[in-house]
């Protein structure tokens, strides 16, 4: 597991959580939320890909 991707995923996950308004069910900045979500998903993908490579 690459620790850089783990750090990126944690930071982006926390940022997405903080920007989401649960009373209105919307993000404060929707455009930035899309960018954060795409990068968050990519970081999780690379974490899983790296873990599978080490297991084999």
- For 37-56, the pLDDT digits (tens) are 999 999 999 998 877 666 65
- CA dist 18 and 23 (Å) reads 13
Per-residue confidence (pLDDT) for residue 12, from 0 to 100: 95
How many domains is the chain built from? 1
Domain that includes residue 11, residue range: 3-55
For 6-38, write each residue's pLDDT tens digit. Answer: 999 999 999 999 999 999 999 999 999 999 999
1: confidence class by pLDDT, cuts 50, 70, 90: low
Q: What is the pTM of this model?
A: 0.80
Q: Long-range contact list for 6-13, CB < 8 A, 24+ apart?
A: 6/43, 6/47, 8/39, 8/43, 9/40, 9/43, 9/44, 9/47, 12/36, 12/39, 12/40, 12/43, 13/40
């Amino acid at each position: 597991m690459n620790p850089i991707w783990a750090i990126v995923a944690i930071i982006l996950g926390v940022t997405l959580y903080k920007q989401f308004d649960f009373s209105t069910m919307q993000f404060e900045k929707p455009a930035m939320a899309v960018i954060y979500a795409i990068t968050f998903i990519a970081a999780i993908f690379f974490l899983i890909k790296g873990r599978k490579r080490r297991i084999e």
